[in-house]
Amino acid sequence: LAGIDNSIKVYDLNNNVKINYFNGHQSNVTSLSFVSSFDTIASVGLDNNMHYWLLNDTTQKKAIKVIKNQMVIIDKTISATIPLSIGGNMLTMFLLGKSFFLKNYEVLNTLAISKDKKYLATGGGGWRGISSIAFPRSFPIYIYNNVTQKREFKLYGHYYKIKSLSFNHTGEFLASTAKNDQYLKIWNLKTKKLVDIYYCSYNFINSIEYNPVNDTLAITNGLNVYLFDTKKDTAIILSQGRAPLKFNNDG
């Protein structure tokens, strides 16, 4: 478990004891998951970093791998050069410079693990400057190989902060949605292309989760939980409910 104290705690549920404590993130931990059946977990946070940890190594002081996603600077650069009045431009340059050098505005908000534990998907959001009106930013979804612990590719996800990700049961498809977004996107990871876009007319999509045995998606808009069959393009209301959503192992 993890939260706003930037730390991760690992418990043995059989013995009701804490077996490890990790404290490597510089900001809130937003999502974490087991990435192997035995000894490794991954975590992402508002510090824009992803960490791999050895679960049972109580002597471990640092993550076995820290992946730092670089800040996107093009918005800041363009915005800083927009011609304003002399006083306004000086103030703009000061504020942008201060935020650029003293704070990382790129964040990672969520991660998902494929059923075979081989792949990890993560994404987040970042600074949206004045230039985004003319040049909208697409926040990416990063795909990592958990075996090599290296990034394989990225998808140009949404124009809003990535909110929820889920692999289908075969690992061939990835579903994604974003904060304050009514669109659900389905990606083919073999071709690395977008294959379907679905629009939710009644509210923003808060959370999504693929069934582990078929291509049914559970979706919530913050009010109700829906079961959506991507093969038949049909949805039914299951119950009232909000995020997060999880299936048990047999679906």
Looking at per-residue pLDDT, the higher value among 26 and 93 belongs to 26
Query: Do residues 189 and 143 touch, judged by C-beta distance below 8 A?
Result: yes
Rounded to 5 degrees, what are φ and ψ at 17? -130, 150
pTM of the model: 0.82
Confidence of residue 243 (pLDDT cuts 50, 70, 90): confident
Q: How confident is the model over 139-167, as a mean pLDDT?
A: 92
Closest CA to 165 of 107, 220, 216, 120: 120
CA dihedral sign, ordered 123, 32, 167, 64: positive
Q: How confident is the model over 165-191, as a mean pLDDT?
A: 93
Q: How far apart are CA 194 and CA 197, in angstroms?
A: 8
CA dihedral sign, ordered 125, 128, 132, 133: positive
How many residues make up the chain in this entry?
251
For residue 74, the model assigns a pLDDT of: 45
Which tokens sit at 143?
A: 């795909």
Closest CA to 33 of 209, 193, 185, 228: 209
pLDDT digits (tens, 9 = 90+) for 183-233: 999 999 999 999 999 988 778 888 999 999 998 999 998 889 999 988 888
208 has which bridge partners?
219
pLDDT at 60 over 60: yes
CA angle, 211 then 166 then 229, to 5°: 45
Q: How far apart are CA 5 and CA 9, in angstroms?
A: 11
Burial class (CB in 10 A: 0-12, 13-18, 19+), 211: middle
Query: Do residues 182 and 199 touch, judged by C-beta distance below 8 A?
Result: yes
CA angle, 68 then 154 then 159, to 5°: 95
pLDDT digits (tens, 9 = 90+) for 23-41: 989 899 999 999 876 689 9
Q: How many helices (H) and strands (E) does the chain have?
A: 3, 18
Confidence of residue 58 (pLDDT cuts 50, 70, 90): confident
Average pLDDT, whole number, for the chain? 84
Q: How confident is the model over 160-165, as a mean pLDDT?
A: 92
Confidence of residue 160 (pLDDT cuts 50, 70, 90): confident
